[in-house]
Amino acid sequence: MKNIVIIGGGHAGAQAAASLRADGFDGRLVLVSSEKELPYHRPPLSKAFIKADEDALQELRPALFYEKNGVELMLGRTVQKIDRAAGKVVLDDGELPFDGLVLATGARVRIPPVPGIDLANVFLLRTVEDARRLKERFAAAKDVVVVGGGFIGLELAATARILGKTVTVLEAAPRLMGRVVAPAISAHFLDLHRGLGSAVRLETPVAALIGENGAVVAVETASGERIPADTVIVGVGVVPNVELAAEAGLDVLNGIVVDEAMRTSDPRIVAAGDAVAFHHWALGRPVRLESVQNAVDQAKTASATLMGKAEAYRAVPWFWSDQGDAKLQMVGLSMDADRAVTRGDPGSGSFSVFHYAGDRLVAIDSVNRATDHMLGRRWLAAGFSPSPEAVADESVDLKGLMP
């Protein structure tokens, strides 16, 4: 293989570049990214980056890394088309040949079809450019309305409270982060955000953003109530960037379809990260995950596959979210769970919910309880399931449970 092109300079793309060199690829390696910056850490954008006085962008690797490893960076450039027959990708201003291709195109923010979404002082957050605009606005903002009670909305709500803003969170569903965490975790974070001083409204869908002179002044709920706002942040999920793959004739569902070694329907093309739908070995169906761990680990598998050392992807998924001073950590996937067991007292601010599918432990959600999370990673990787009775009993030392 002589030419590998990586499309996307997020967590997956940057890791693919590093892994391909570590795995012995010695041909031409080009990473194309629509963003102008060197690949950077996205998670701080909703937390430390907004709070910091300076522009605290954290690069994943220094410029020297790419130089030393012979990774050609094409930043601020966008791939318009993959020409599989000719073995080339077409940029806005040129072409690159490939015999191996990594799709690491990630996801973009979902823009809800709400009237007024284009008004000034309405913000979405995915890139550092978005974060810079929001940070600049925060200097003047007083009344912030966050649309969406998911991870990013809640992280930003906590950040805005810490910065002294009046904050209202509007969530359409009956509980916060409802798609992914246990009800006990949702309830805990509802109390936490209310304790921080945010007004959190559940079952409150937004009907429209109301503007005056082109700028937002209020959010109108479905019941017709108007909540004053000089700044609105919309965090209602993401859409995977699958269009390039779809137009190139690759299989696409809710993500670019890959096999267990991250190969797309064209064996020269692998994919990794938020854009990917992979067949999950335990769930038995395609899953698309949105996390740094998933992007990084899938990129390692994708690289090994291109280098002829394909192995099945079996990484245990994990994720974190920092909201105020609470650290939520999740390991495993709880969507097929039928029983939840709580360890610790939620009122103490430190507890975990263990999810079981039958007798099998499938996931753990932990709040300020890193030990449970770390043990969970080891247990799930080893396929070990402690009994629900043992995990519910705080007098049992979990560390000694796995033989």
In the window 119-148, what residues touch ligand FAD (CB under 6 A)? 125-126
Q: In DSSP terms, which residues pair with 143 in a beta bridge? A: 166
* Alpha-carbon distances, residue 218 vs 136, 234, 329 (angstroms): 20, 13, 34
Find the binder of ligand FAD among 4, 124, 209, 292 (CB under 6 A): 292
Choices 141-149, 286-294, 334-342, 369-377; region in contact with ligand FAD by CB under 6 A: 286-294
Among 105, 204, 231, 305, binds ligand FAD (CB under 6 A): 105
> Which residues are CB-contacts of 212 (< 8 A; sequence separation ≥ 6)?
none
User: How does strand 351-357 pair with strand 360-367?
Assistant: antiparallel
- Residue 209 near residue 219, CB atoms below 8 Å: yes
Q: Which of 295, 333, 362, 398 binds ligand FAD (CB under 6 A)?
A: 295
Is 78 a binding residue for ligand FAD by CB under 6 A? The answer is: yes
Q: Given the rule CB under 6 A, which of 20-28, 116-124, 216-224, 316-324 is the region that contacts ligand FAD?
A: 316-324
What CA–CA distance (Å, rounded) separates 63 from 303? 21
Under the criterion CB under 6 A, does residue 326 sit at the interface with ligand FAD?
no
Length of the chain: 403
Closer residue to ligand FAD (CB): 274 or 372: 274
107 vs 363, beta carbon nearer ligand FAD: 107
Whole-number Å distance between alpha carbons of 346 and 184: 8
6 binds ligand FAD (CB under 6 A): no
The answer to the question of residue 106 lying near ligand FAD (CB under 6 A) is yes
CB 348, min distance to ligand FAD, A: 23
CA distances from 305 to 23, 146, 264 (A): 10, 42, 11
- Sole binder of ligand FAD in the list 35, 143, 230, 297 (CB under 6 A): 35
Contacts with ligand FAD in 146-175 (CB under 6 A)? Answer: 152
10 binds ligand FAD (CB under 6 A): yes
Amino acid present at 309 = K
Closer residue to ligand FAD, CB minimum distance, 376 or 386: 376
Q: What is the DSSP letter of 376?
A: H
Return the number of the residue (33 or 305) whose C-beta is nearest ligand FAD: 33
Nearer to ligand FAD, 107 or 169 (CB): 107
Tokens read off for 97: 């040949």
* Out of 104, 122, 331, 375, the residue judged to bind ligand FAD by CB under 6 A: 104
Q: How many helices (H) and strands (E) in the chain?
A: 10, 27
Name residues whose C-beta falls within 8 Å of residue 154's C-beta, 6 or more positions apart in sequence. Answer: 146, 169, 176, 177, 189, 193, 321, 323
Are residues 11 and 295 in contact, defined by beta-carbon separation less than 8 angstroms?
A: yes
What b/e sequence results for 247-258 when a residue is b if at least 16 CB atoms lie within 10 Å of its CB, and e otherwise?
A: ebebebeebbbb
Give the amino acid at 264.
T
The one segment of 28-36, 255-263, 336-344, 394-402 that binds ligand FAD by CB under 6 A: 28-36
Q: How many residues bind ligand FAD (CB under 6 A)?
A: 37
Position 300 contacts ligand FAD (CB under 6 A): no
Binder to ligand FAD among 98, 319, 354, 356 (CB under 6 A)?
Answer: 319
- Count of beta carbons in the 10 Å neighbourhood of residue 73: 19
Which residues of this chain interact with ligand FAD, rule CB under 6 A? 7-13, 32-35, 42-43, 45-46, 78-79, 104-107, 125-126, 152, 241, 244, 273-275, 290-293, 295, 319-321
